C-alpha cells in the first residue's frame, strides 16, 4: 500500500467526499469547521514518503494589505511548532501548510486524522486576526498586540 492509498482509505473511512488527482499526487476535499461559518478547502499533496496538508482560507487578501499580512504571518509563524501560514503574493490566496514524513512507516488512521484536525485548528485559532489584517480592518501591530489575540496568549 502507498501513502496515497493510505490517505484515501482514511478519507473514505471517515465518509469524506474527495476529489482524487493521483497523477498529480493530490487529494482535495472540504471539511467543516466548528469555529467558522464556512467550510475549508483542504488539499493533501502526496509523494512516496511524505505528504503536505494545505488548508485554504475562504477569502483572499486585499492586495493593498499584503505587507501588513506578511508581517502578521511572519509573527504567527515564529510561534509555530509544526506547519506555517503563507500567502501567494500574485493572487492573495492565504493557506496553512503542514509537512508530514511517512519515510519509516505508513501513517495510521489516527495520525492522518490528527494531522488534518490540527491543520484546521491552526486556521481556526488565527482566522480572526488574519481576516482582519487581510481585509484592512486592522494593522498587523494591532492584531499582534490586541488583548484577545491568540498571538499574545
Instruction: Express each pLDDT in 27-64 by its tens digit.
Output: 999 987 777 777 899 999 998 889 999 999 999 999 99
Q: Are 3 and 51 in contact (CB under 8 A)?
A: yes
Query: Has this prediction a pTM greater than 0.85?
Result: yes
Cα(99)–Cα(83) distance, integer angstroms: 7
Residue 153 reports pLDDT greater than 60: no
Rg (CA), the chain: 16
Cα-Cα-Cα-Cα dihedral sign, residues 18, 23, 26, 28: negative
Q: What average pLDDT does the chain have?
A: 89
Domains along the chain with CATH numbers: 3-152 (3.30.1460.70)
Count of Cβ atoms closer than 10 Å to residue 148 Cβ: 8
Instruction: Express each pLDDT in 52-99 by its tens digit.
Output: 999 999 999 999 999 999 999 999 999 888 899 999 999 999 999 999
Of the pLDDT bands very low, low, confident and very high (cuts 50, 70, 90), residue 6 is: very high
Amino acid at each position: 500500500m502507498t501513502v496515497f492509498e493510505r490517505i484515501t482509505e482514511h478519507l473514505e473511512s471517515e465518509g469524506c467526499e474527495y476529489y482524487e488527482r493521483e497523477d498529480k499526487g493530490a487529494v482535495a476535499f472540504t471539511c467543516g469547521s466548528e469555529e467558522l461559518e464556512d467550510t475549508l478547502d483542504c488539499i493533501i499533496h502526496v509523494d512516496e514518503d511524505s505528504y503536505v496538508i494545505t488548508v485554504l482560507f475562504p477569502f483572499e487578501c486585499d492586495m493593498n494589505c499584503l505587507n501588513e499580512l506578511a508581517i502578521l504571518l511572519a509573527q504567527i509563524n515564529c510561534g509555530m511548532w509544526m506547519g506555517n501560514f503563507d500567502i501567494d503574493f500574485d493572487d492573495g490566496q492565504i493557506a496553512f501548510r503542514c509537512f508530514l514524513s511517512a519515510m519509516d512507516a505508513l501513517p495510521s488512521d489516527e495520525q492522518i486524522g490528527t494531522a488534518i484536525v490540527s491543520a484546521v485548528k491552526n486556521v481556526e485559532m488565527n482566522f480572526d486576526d488574519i481576516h482582519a489584517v487581510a481585509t484592512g480592518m486592522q494593522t498587523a501591530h494591532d492584531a499582534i498586540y490586541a488583548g484577545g489575540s491568540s498571538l499574545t496568549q
